[in-house]
Each structure stands twice: as structure tokens, then as C-alpha cells.
Amino acid sequence: MKSCASMSAARLGGYKALLLGSVVGIAVLSGSSAFAQQALASNGASNVLLLADASVPALASTVATDNGAPVQGAVAAIANAPAVQIAQATPSAAPASSVASPYTVSAVDKAIGANPLSRFVNYYFAEWGQSSAPTDPNAPPATRAGWPVVPQTTPPMPFTDWPYGGTTLIGDNHTASIDSPLMVAVEHTGVGQAMASLGIQAYGWIDYGGNISSSHLKGGNAPAAYDYNPNNVQLDQAVLYVERTPDTVQTDHVDWGFRASAIYGENYRYTTSYGVASYQLLKHNNFVGYDFPMVYGELWVPKIMEGLMIRVGRYISLPDIEAQLAPNNYMYTHSITYTLDNYTNEGIQTTLAVTKQFMLQVGLAMGTEEGVWDYNVKLPNQYVLANGAGSDPLYPGKSFLKDPGEQPSLTVCGRWQSLDGNNDVNVCADAVNKGNWGYNNLQWYGLTAYHKFNQYFHVSWEFYNEHQDGVVNELNPTAQNIYLNGGTPFSPQYIPFNSPYEAQCKSVTVLRCRTDSYGTVAYWNFSPNPMNNFSLRTEYYDDPEGQRTGTATSYYELGIGLQHWLSPQIEMRPEFTSYWSDRPSFNLGTAKTERVFSGDLIWHF
């Protein structure tokens, strides 16, 4: 493990910020805003930039502390401050909760002023300490009549419905229903009004994180993710969505939607699709980069049974507990089970609500993590061109497909949920085709299941098997020579970095073999109040041929994390995770164990 003396001052500063954030999060968890403010104050009087419109009326004449006692004029001081004011972050100047009274959409709208910049900043103060967006007494019902009960809330959970993917939530989604400070800021401008008339929203988040790890080599945390480099502070992801979601509560008319998303940061390496700006990861191995993980259109047809959603484009693979985007996850890091399965598909995905409790999902995609424009594209076989016909028993021709795994692929999933919302099961075969060794041509068969014991406890569980056929044998000298000299689509001549792993077949004499992997992960969750959730992650992952991780071994994980929300827009997630493997696999294959303390801060806009 790297000694403290060898770390840069900047990195130590980052760790201090991370640790301080964790302390403040735990302080707020205790239920006492005063305790949290004392933690801040103990770090010294820090300057906070407050922006406000001098003409803004007070957000509230009084606000309540944790025990219900009023504090006079706290928000009024913020709202009536000069345009740019430097204020000391002391308990008297920065209360834990600053809200309009009553906490409704109309009251908050009046309180935060007219200037877009002031509205943007003041909206964060209006929601501070709250566990939901301002209420709207005039809002239509959030869920279709007779639909299963929505089991969770955000905060503190990363979702409201149990995740199933491939569609906008059916039965409980209204158009333009995301609580976004950016949209609130521009609400009364010409641009904001035009977007509102079309039901279009633009929003996103910035996610910074860091880790302190027992591993120390670059990339040494793998196969743990999303903290690729040990002992690092990084921009995990800056994300922007522009979208319109169909209204699936209503059943009287066809509706439409779309999403265009962009991500920039370290996490791009996990979402990269071959042929979609993949040069950053596969040609240069850039630490940070960009990607467009979701670009799709949707059509909602409510008159077919209980409703049919049709999605076309690039979308997140089904069904998974976890997701690529930070706010959609319990913990900062991801399970190995999630890290090594399908991420995105490009094609058409349908979701039919057969009844209020049962959904059938059928899709057709072009493989997994592959640009559709690369279908049937061929590359020259450099080994055959150099050594003549018949020299390559793996790929005998003078050319081969750029990605043999890019082929028409079928997805079929079934979902059942109890009417009380406490139970949910999703059984799925995702992106299934001939199974040829491809960039990420994983034949995924598995399930996710959820059970809510009571208002405080629930568990989320996933299990799968995934496989590929005809994977080149890393242990066979002939196969390895061909691979290293340009005789396969994934040779270093074509993908110098982060290419798919070969197989460590059980027999050294075979040129190819089938590879399987098995993963199971459970999140055991306890939520003591609407602002906090504790997650215990237990996991087993088996990679017998080493095709998914580069080491033929089994992995075990035990991690505990806290999700603490300061408001509906700001979330902190400290965690501690322990990993074990039967063979050295961590720290670039030099260690059987790994211990990681990590955490992040997600700031929505």
C-alpha cells in the first residue's frame, strides 16, 4: 500500500475533503442539524458564495429546525442579499433547512425570485433539508388507478419503482416531472416556456468521488468499479439529459418521448460502445472521456392491453439492479456482477403491460456495446496476409468481421409485481444470438428480484449466467501467436488497449473454447428515515475461464455504504468494501485481497 509520504499534497487535500464530507454526512444522519453545523464550523470558517436577487422577497418569515422550533428570517437574509455576497458558513448564517411556507410549488416559485441565476441558487436553499420536491396541490394523480403501489421514494432510494429497464416507467410517469433546479431557473423565460409547452426538460448532475485502497498500481482496483485507479480523487461523471417522457398514467391518447444523454468523466470507460467514440478507450486508454449512453425515441400506445411502449435507439440493457448513471445506484462503487455484464444495446425494445401486474418485454438489437453502422464491416487479416492462405486456423480468410458478435440479438423478459408493491421478479434473456466471441457479445440469462419487508427494510437480488462461444485460448501457443500478430478481430493491431479478454481454457491443446461466468449480488437495505439508507452488498462472482476479468478465479465481496441526502438535489455516498479472490487478481494480478474506502458527492441541476 502506498505510504502517505509518497502522496501529493493535492491528493491529500482531496482525501481531507472526502473524509470531511463523510463526517458531515454522518453528522446530519444523527438527526441534528446543529451537530452537522458544528462539524462544519470545526473545520474553520469557510467562505460560501451566495447569489441572490436584491428584489427577491423572503423565502419564508420562519423556518423550522429539526425539533420544530422556528428560526426567524434565515432565508430572508439569503433572498435579500446583494447580487453576489460572500457569507460565513456559520450555524447562524446557514441553517440546516430553508423552506418556503407552505412548502408548495407556488409558494417556492414566488419566494425564489425572477432572475434565472437567483432562482437557480435559491431553489437549492428552498429544498435544503427536504426529502422531496415542493408539493403541488393541483397535480393530477401520480399513478394510474388500480396500478401496483409505488414501493420506494427518492430520496433516499435511487429509484421509485423496482428497476426493469428498457422503457419509461409504465403507469406512473407524467411528462416533464423531473425536479430540476435548472428547469426551475428558466421556467419564466422564453426558452423555459417553449420547453414546457413541448414537455421537454434539460437536467443532469455532477459526480465527484475518490478512494483510498490497499491496491496502488494504475488500474489496480479492477475488477472493482467505478474506481479504476486506486488512491485517487476524480470527476466520475458530468451528465446532461435532454428529454421528453411519455405520459403513461393517461390511457386516452398516443404519446411520444425521447432522450439524448451525454456523459463526461472517468466512468465513460464503463459505458463505451465499440465504434461510438471508442477511440478514447480502445486506442488511447484516456483516463477521462465522453460518451452518449442513451439516445433513443419512444412511442406510447395505451390502448393495447394496459399499454405498449416502443423504444428505438441506444438504451441501457435489461434488467439489472444497478445502472451506469450514478444517481440510479445504492452505492458509489458497483458490484463485479454488474461491472462485467451487458451495458447498452442499440435496436428496438418493446414493453407490453399485459395486465397491471405483468409486463412482457421483447427486443431486437445488434449485439451488445456495438455501433449499428459497424454491422458486417470487415478488417484485413494481417496474419494471413503475412503468412499466406491456410496459416490461420482461427480466422482462415484474408479478412474477418470487425466484431463477430454484432449480429441480430433477441431480448425476452417477463416482469411480475404484487399489487402492494412489496414483491417484484424479472426473468430475462438479454441480447441472445449465436454467441460468437465478440467485443462484449454476452449471452445473458438471469433474473432480478425485490422484496420489501416493511417501510424500513428491503432486499434487491440478482443472479445470472453469461457465456460466449469460440473464445481464443490464451494458453495455446499457436492461438496466442496468431492473436499477437493480427490474426483475430481483437488483436492489439486493432485494439491496443482494453480489448476483450481471451479464454484460459481447461485444456491447453484446444484453440478455442466456450466461456461462462456466474454472478450473484444482493443489496440488503435499511432506511431509518427519508434522508438516509444503509446498504450491505454481498456478492459472489465466478469467472472459471478468466474471460471477464483476465484471471480464472472466483471473487467474494462484502461492502457497506450510506446514502445520505442533504436535499433532493445533493447526495453523499461513503462506503467501505472488502474483496477476496481465490487467485491473485487485484492490484494487476498481484493480490488476493483488496480493501477500499471510497465515496462521492452527487450534485443535481
Read off the pLDDT of residues 204-253 as tens digits, 9 standing for 90 and up: 999 999 999 999 999 999 999 999 999 999 999 999 999 999 999 999 99
Q: Give the contacts of 149 (CB within 8 A, at least 6 positions apart).
A: 143, 419, 420, 421
CB atoms inside a 10 Å sphere around CB 236:
23
Q: Which of 72-76, 193-197, 486-490, 518-522 has the lowest mean pLDDT?
A: 72-76
Q: For the chain, what are the domain ranges? A: 31-134, 201-604
Is the confidence at residue 179, as pLDDT, over 70? yes
Three-class secondary structure of residue 276 per DSSP? strand
Name the pLDDT band for 47 (thresholds 50, 70, 90): very low
Is the confidence at residue 508, as pLDDT, over 50? yes
Task: Report the pLDDT value the prediction gives residue 99, as an integer from 0 to 100.
Answer: 53
Q: Which residue has the cell 440478482?
A: 462
CATH code, 201-604: 2.40.160.10
Chain centroid to CA 417: 23
pLDDT tens for 257-294 read 999 999 999 999 999 999 999 999 999 999 999 999 99
Name the pLDDT band for 12 (thresholds 50, 70, 90): very low
Task: Report the pLDDT value the prediction gives residue 30, as an integer from 0 to 100.
Answer: 36
Q: Which sign, positive or negative, has the C-alpha torsion 45, 49, 53, 57? A: negative
Task: Report the pLDDT value the prediction gives residue 370, as an integer from 0 to 100.
Answer: 95
Q: Which of 6-10, 401-405, 456-460, 481-485 has the lowest mean pLDDT?
A: 6-10
The continuous run of DSSP H or E covering 559 comes out as: strand 553-567
Total residues belonging to the chain = 605
Is the confidence at residue 166, as pLDDT, over 80? yes
Residue range 540-564: mean pLDDT, rounded = 98
Residue range 553-565: mean pLDDT, rounded = 98
Predicted structure pTM score: 0.85
Share of the chain above pLDDT 90, in %: 83
Dist. CA 318–CA 341, nearest whole Å = 10
**Hey, which residues does 352 pair with through a beta bridge?**
308, 360
Between CA 312 and CA 332, with CA 321 as vertex, the angle to 5 degrees is 110
Nearest to 599 by CA among 43, 19, 155, 11: 19
Nearest to 367 by CA among 376, 358, 359: 376
How far are the Cα atoms of 47, 124, 182 from residue 82, in angstroms, in the given order? 16, 18, 21
Cα radius of gyration rounded to whole Å, the chain: 26
Q: Which residue has the cell 481464443?
A: 472
Dist. CA 380–CA 491, nearest whole Å = 12
Dist. CA 77–CA 20, nearest whole Å = 27
Q: Which residue has the cell 418556503?
A: 100
Is the confidence at residue 74, as pLDDT, over 70? no
User: Strand 295-301 relative to strand 308-316: parallel, antiparallel, unpaired?
Assistant: antiparallel
Is the confidence at residue 107, as pLDDT, over 50? yes
Dist. CA 443–CA 429, nearest whole Å = 8
Is the confidence at residue 16, as pLDDT, over 60? no
Task: Report the pLDDT value the prediction gives residue 85, as an integer from 0 to 100.
Answer: 28
